[in-house]
């Protein structure tokens, strides 16, 4: 014991580097992105103890492992039947091909990698900001007859959150089934409200609870989705969480965001996606019935795919869809994202597309809600400006929308940021919409946002101070860990 006391520091250092070297071997065998792998290795070897903490909080890789298995849901007969019913005939595929031409490559890409069926009979409503979304969502909740499913990265019991949660309690007392999935890191609901929800018969589960006794990897792999499903007939997806931050009437800082309300066939794959999450977070294995997949009477014909990605998918489906859409653009690409910390594939795609005389415009916040994300984002902008990408910084407040329009025929709205975490780590969902009218609506919204932006000029941007560039470089070095 005396030897241990006299040499405690040396023992701890030896233990640190034993664990660090073991982690380095694991990182090398995983064949991660070289930049990301090097960042972790440098941290592990150069910063004793802290490097280990960062790696075990943020560096664990669970993709393709059984912890995120979806087989119980996907193997249920009703789910297989629903997926088979969504199969399109050749005529429908050809009609979409004619609309999208080369961009129709997106459809087989997603279908082949994740069985994400293209659905035709849909209506899509574009929603600007939380004030509009919550007004519509509350109306749909009030009119619900059978069930309500919510899956959100952030739910808070502040003003808007309390209003919605109290309404859900009322609907539960009317006999509706209410299920809620909250991310344990993003959400904040008081014990009092949780008791009220439980007492009113509402089932709520936390996604990967963060417990100090089981912390390995739990700061990664967050459920970043924002999904609401009403009676299996109405679906919501986009960037707007349930919090006063998203309601400008309750918020001191203007928050610009985008969501969509979907009715029609596409609600069915969105429902299946919810059930895969519910199956993972819940203790009881739910047997899924036809009542969760009612027939729809949608008369509109907007082609739409629900694209999901996360550690439960073999491929980075949404990132790949974005990459294919950008590289197949023929006229323009318009992107809005709150965090632009992309991988090399997306950077190259944007550079090559812009250098091919295709108009590429990008909106990012001038002032982010995270200083390190802001500096990391800024570190990439000069590369884009040099290639001819038009970069705009949103100045009215904070832009949190995650949207893209390509050539006025394809668009996407969802939860996915243009960053490492959304592409490779978190659970995300996007609606991929193949429709000229909707794309024009989203383009009009994009052009409206440009009025509240400052356009960056390459020469002026290059004159940033050395101090600023150094901070950006350090933030970018940390980008793979963000």
Q: How many Å separate Cα 364 from the centre of its chain? A: 16
- What is the SS3 assignment for 3-14? HHHHCHHHHHHH
Is-contact 367 464, C-beta < 8 A? no
Q: What are the beta bridge partners of residue 182?
A: 152, 206
CB 261 within 8 A of CB 124: yes
Contact 338/249 with Cβ under 8 angstroms? no
Concatenate the DSSP letters of all residues of 198-210 into one string: HHTT-EEEEES--
For the record, the structure tokens of 183 come out as 């991310």
Q: Name the residues annotated as catalytic.
A: 224, 226, 231, 400, 402, 407
Structure tokens at 97: 């091909």
Output Rg (C-alpha) for the chain, integer angstroms.
Answer: 23
Helix crossing, 344-355 with 317-327: angle to 10°?
A: 10
- Which residue from 353, 411, 348 is spatially nearest to 383, judged by alpha carbons? 348
Dihedrals φ, ψ of 260, to 5°?
-135, 150
Q: 181: closest CA among 117, 144, 228?
A: 228
Question: Can you tell me the distance from the alpha carbon of 59 to that of 36, in angstroms, rounded to the nearest whole number?
Answer: 9
Yes or no: say if 259 and 127 are a contact pair by the CB < 8 Å rule. Answer: yes
* 53 token code pair: 């903490």
Token pair in block for residue 389: 């990408």
Alpha-carbon distance 472 to 458, whole Å? Answer: 16
Return the closest-CA partner of residue 325 out of 385, 414, 225. 414
């Amino acid at each position: 014991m005396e030897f241990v006391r006299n040499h405690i520091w040396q023992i701890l250092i030896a233990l640190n580097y034993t664990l660090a070297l073991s982690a380095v071997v694991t990182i090398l065998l995983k064949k991660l992105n070289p930049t990301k792998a090097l960042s972790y290795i440098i941290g592990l070897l150069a910063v004793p103890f802290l490097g280990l903490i960062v790696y075990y909080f943020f560096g664990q890789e669970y993709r393709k492992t059984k912890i995120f298995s979806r087989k119980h849901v996907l193997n249920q007969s009703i789910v297989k039947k629903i997926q088979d019913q969504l199969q399109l005939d050749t005529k429908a595929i050809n009609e979409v091909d004619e609309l999208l031409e080369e961009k129709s490559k997106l459809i087989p890409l997603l279908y082949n990698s994740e069985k994400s069926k293209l659905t035709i009979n849909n209506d899509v409503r574009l929603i600007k900001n939380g004030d509009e979304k919550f007004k519509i969502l509350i109306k749909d909740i009030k009119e619900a007859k059978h069930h309500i499913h919510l899956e959100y990265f952030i739910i808070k019991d502040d003003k808007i959150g309390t209003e919605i949660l109290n309404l859900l309690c009322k609907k539960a007392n009317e006999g509706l089934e209410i299920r809620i999935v909250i991310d344990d890191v993003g959400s904040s609901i008081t014990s009092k409200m949780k008791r009220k929800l439980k007492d009113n018969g509402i089932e709520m589960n936390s996604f990967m609870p963060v417990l100090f006794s089981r912390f390995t990897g739990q700061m990664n792999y967050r459920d970043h989705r924002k999904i609401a499903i009403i009676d299996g007939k109405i679906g919501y997806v986009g960037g707007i969480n349930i919090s006063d931050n998203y309601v400008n009437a309750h918020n001191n800082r203007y928050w610009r965001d985008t969501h969509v309300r979907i009715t029609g066939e596409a609600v069915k794959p969105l429902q299946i996606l919810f059930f895969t999450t519910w199956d993972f977070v819940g203790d009881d294995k739910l047997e899924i019935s036809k009542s969760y997949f009612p027939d729809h009477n949608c008369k509109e014909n907007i082609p739409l795919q629900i694209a999901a990605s996360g550690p439960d998918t073999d491929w980075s489906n949404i990132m790949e869809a974005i990459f294919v859409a950008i590289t197949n653009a023929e006229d323009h690409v318009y992107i809005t994202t709150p965090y632009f910390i992309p991988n090399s594939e997306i950077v190259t795609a944007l550079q090559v597309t812009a250098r091919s005389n295709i108009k590429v415009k990008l909106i990012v916040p001038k002032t982010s809600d995270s200083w390190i994300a802001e500096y990391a984002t800024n570190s990439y902008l000069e590369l884009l400006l040099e290639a001819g990408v038009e970069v705009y910084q949103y100045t009215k407040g904070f832009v949190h929308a995650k949207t893209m329009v390509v050539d006025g025929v394809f668009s996407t709205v969802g939860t996915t940021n243009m960053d490492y975490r959304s592409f490779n780590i978190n659970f995300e969902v996007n609606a991929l919409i193949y429709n000229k009218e909707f794309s024009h609506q989203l383009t009009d919204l994009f052009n409206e946002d440009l009025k509240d932006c400052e356009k960056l000029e390459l020469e002026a941007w290059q004159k940033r101070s050395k101090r600023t560039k150094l901070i950006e470089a350090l933030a970018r070095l940390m980008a793979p860990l963000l």
